[in-house]
Amino acid sequence: MTKEQAREKMEVLRKELDEHNHRYYILDDPAISDYEFDQKLAELQKLEEEHPEFDDPLSPTRRVGGDITKDFPTVKHKYPMMSLSNTYSREELEDFLNRIAKLLGEDMEFVCELKYDGAAVGITYREGKLLRAVTRGDGSQGDDITTNIKTIKSIPLQLQGNSYPEEFEIRGEIFMLLEGFNKMNEERVAEGLEPFANPRNTASGTLKMQDSSVVAARPLDSFLYFVLSEERLFENHHDSMLKAREWGFRIPYPEKKYIAKAQNISEIFDFINYWEEHRNELPFEIDGVVVKVNSYAQQERLGTTAKAPRWAIAYKYKAEQVATRLNSISYQVGRTGAITPVANLEPVLLAGTTVKRASLHNKDQIEKLGLHENDYVFVEKGGEIIPKVVGIDLKQRQPEAKAIQYITHCPECNTQLIREEGEALHYCPNESGCPPQVKGRIQHFISRKAMDIEGMGSETIELLVNEGLIENYADLYDLQKDQLLPLERMAEKSAQNIIDGIEASKQVPFEKVLFALGIRYVGETVAKKLARHFETIEALMKASEEELVNVDEIGQRIAESVTGFFSEEANRLLTERLKNKGLQFEVVKEEGASNALEGLTIVISGNFERYSRTEIKELIEKHGGKNTGSVSGKTDLIVAGEGMGPSKRKKAEELGVKIIDEHEFARMIS
């Protein structure tokens, strides 16, 4: 394939992938399977790697993330990003309508929309291309989160058609889909971690994560609902939304009744009442309905107060609660030994589902509620995996009821619990003898993101532990096929697959092995940083807390956890056994790697002829440097290509940061 043929093929693939993204996320009408889409994306990625001279910053391949944003620059909003006034009753809403009717003195039409429970964002487009995305912040200025917003597939990087203005801003809400949120929390609970509190806070926190590849992996979605421009493009809000849909935006669906016109208070409450009854059927959370004056001319005449527009108001739903009896409290033990108390309830219908259990979080929460035996409790359904207890009906408390006493010993192995200073949870310290911890630690070890041992799952681990064949993850490497064959539902092929999977796991790189060990607070990203810094398990095991804290982004809590883990003789022996079995416990240096960029924090900006941006990032890491996405006082060097951002150049000049081109970069690493 010639260069010109490659360029043409890349353009065709980008256009096709953009169109399929649009059909899938905006029109809800996919034309190809996920597999076919992934194949086309992989083909485009390969061509972009082979021909970096045709790099496109808005390519669909950028959706997977990978850029690191150390700091989120503060950006002043071109148009103030106000909050809405809230109301909780029909009377208050009627007062609002009467008030604006008196100000206008003419008939009005309204638009009703769902009030999405997420994080507000303003996205600017120039010449049809996504330019910048900014959080609400304090209303006058917010944080630039462009890199993370680009990973959300329902937000277009390039608009459809050509009827959009040269530059405009569109605002909306970024939220987390409930199915994905619940799955994330199930994984966290299985690992002994505290579940995320709710989808709203998790979505907001995700948007400020430094690693955009982590953002890309989370189930974020969006609805965009307000167009802002220097010129008035439409006569009313409803028309602007329908037009924005033609440009490729995911606007609230009229056909699903997410948005509707209303002529009076009666029609407004038809919309409010419908969604109060049906909101639990939605795949995301809402906390009310927004009512807006439709006409832009009338909006301008009504104006704003210091804090909110006079032409819109939010009607907030009350949180759904029911009262039911507390039958008992059970205590779950996670793989790290974390104890999670759960209320076992008299079954009751809440938000369309039968609730039997509710979260109590920790000892402090139980004491704060003042729980007694057989209390009648108020249960609220939020975004958690299970609902939560939010209060007590004291009128129904029995006079002889005793206060709930939090357990002092592990419910599984009877070991006395500990609670470290500053921690919310209690822990069982019996790591090697507590059954849920033993099984959970091995299940974590074999998981896809860790050792990725094919042929094994949680049921297999349960069986192997119960049969006494393994007591820890190092025992996996002593298993023989003839030990597996007598097990229940274990055929010849299944047994061989397990043995082959265990053998293959010996090739898993050091950073994943380190993650697999299950050291508390050492997730995938931390494991990668520690592996690359210390390079061998011996060096890491000998490291002091001070040496660990000096590693970029490693704090005191992680340092204490790592040194604590390796101070335990049992953990040192397990690590030694794994090493003797042939697992990878040192970083395998790539061919051509060096320390030429060691200690340097480097920013790349613009487009390059010799390399793709991804290649430069990989080369920076390969030669010991650190790649970041924004210029700061810690930046040592900028590798600049054609079209370097003017703001980065200006900041670099102000800070005296050296700027080099790709040719000088090549000389540095040669």
* Cα separation values, 354 from 186, 277, 283, 386, 439, Å: 19, 16, 18, 11, 30
C-alpha 634: how far from its chain's center? 27
Query: Residue 182's pLDDT is what?
Result: 86
Q: Measured between alpha carbons, how far is 322 from 9 in angstroms, rounded to an integer?
A: 59
3-state SS record for 505-537: HHHCCHHHHHHHCCCCCCCHHHHHHHHHHHCEH
| Selected catalytic residue, list 40, 115, 381, 439 | 115
Residue 627: strand, helix, or coil: strand
**At which residue do the structure tokens 């958690």 appear?**
384
Question: 435-507 has which fold?
Answer: DNA polymerase; domain 1 (1.10.150)
Provide the b/e sequence for 331-350 (b: ≥16 CB within 10 Å). Answer: bebbbbbbbbbbbebeeeeb
Nearest to 294 by CA among 328, 267, 317: 267
Distance in angstroms (rounded) separating the CA atoms of residues 368 and 341: 14
| pLDDT reported for residue 67 | 61
Contacts 24+ apart (CB under 8 A), 179-183: 179/219, 179/283, 180/218, 180/219, 181/219, 181/383, 182/385, 183/219
Q: What angle do CA 304, 309, 313 make, to 5 degrees?
A: 150
Q: Is 221 helix (H, G, I), strand (E, B) or coil?
A: strand
For residue 661, report the phi and psi dihedrals to the nearest 5 degrees.
Answer: -95, 180
Q: Is 402 a catalytic residue?
A: no
Region of residue 594 (left: phi > 0; alpha: psi -120 to 50; beta: else): beta
Which of these, 278, 308, 314, 257, lies nearest to 117 by C-alpha position? 314
Q: Residues with Cβ < 8 Å from 424, sequence gap 6 or more?
A: 194, 361, 362, 364
Are the beta carbons of 420 and 427 closer than 8 angstroms? Answer: yes
Cβ-contact 139, 129 below 8 angstroms = no
Contact between 358 and 386 (Cβ < 8 Å): yes
351 Cβ contact list (under 8 Å, min separation 6): 280, 320, 381
Q: What would the CATH number be for the domain defined by 76-182+196-316?
A: 3.30.470.30
**Helix%, strand%, coil% for the chain, nearest 5:** 40, 20, 40
What distance in Å separates the CA atoms of residue 197 and residue 583, rounded to the nearest whole number?
A: 37
Residue type at 524 in one-letter notation: E
Decide whether 76-182+196-316 matches 510-580 in CATH topology: no
Helical H runs in 543-629? 545-549, 556-567, 569-580, 613-622
**Where does 83-151 show beta strands of DSSP type E?**
86-87, 110-116, 119-126, 129-135, 141-143
Are 10 and 58 contacting, i.e. CB atoms less than 8 angstroms apart? no
User: Is residue 61 classed exposed, middle or buried when 0-12, 13-18 and 19+ CB atoms within 10 A define those classes?
Assistant: buried
Q: Are 600 and 625 in contact (CB under 8 A)?
A: yes
H or E stretch at 217: helix 212-217
Q: Which of 525, 540, 635, 547 is nearest to 586 (CA)?
A: 540
Residue at 334: amino acid letter: G
Beta bridge partners of 344: 328, 357
pLDDT for 617 = 82
Token output for 303 = 């104006």
Q: What is the CATH number of domain 3-64?
A: 1.10.287.610
Residue 178 · residue 140 · CB < 8 Å: no
Which residue, 76, 199, 175, 201, is CA-closest to 134?
76
Q: Are strands 601-605 and 637-640 parallel, antiparallel or unpaired?
A: parallel
Class of domain 510-580: mainly alpha
Beta bridge partners of 19: none
Q: Quote the CA–CA distance of 240 and 227 in Å, as a whole number.
A: 7
- Angle between the N-to-C axes of helices 569-580 and 556-567, in degrees from 0 to 180, rounded to the nearest 10: 80
Of the CATH numbers 3.30.420.40, 2.40.10.340, 1.20.1250.20, 2.40.50.140, which one belongs to the domain with range 321-396?
A: 2.40.50.140
Domain extent listing, the chain? 3-64, 76-182+196-316, 321-396, 435-507, 510-580, 601-669
What residues are paired with 607 via a beta bridge?
A: 642
d(CA 176, CA 285): 8
CATH number of 601-669: 3.40.50.10190
312-316 and 129-135 beta bridge pairing: unpaired
pLDDT value at residue 44? 87
Distance from C-alpha of 81 to C-alpha of 170, rounded to nearest angstrom: 11
Taking the chain (670 residues) in runs of 10, the rounded mean pLDDT of each run is 87 87 72 79 83 81 65 86 88 93 92 94 94 89 91 92 91 93 81 75 88 87 92 89 93 92 95 91 91 94 86 87 92 90 91 81 91 92 69 90 94 94 88 90 91 88 92 95 90 92 94 93 87 93 93 86 94 95 87 79 83 81 79 86 76 87 88
Phi, psi dihedral angles at 139 (to 5 degrees): 100, -30
User: What strand order describes the sheet that includes 286-293?
Assistant: 86-87, 312-316, 286-293, 110-116, 259-262
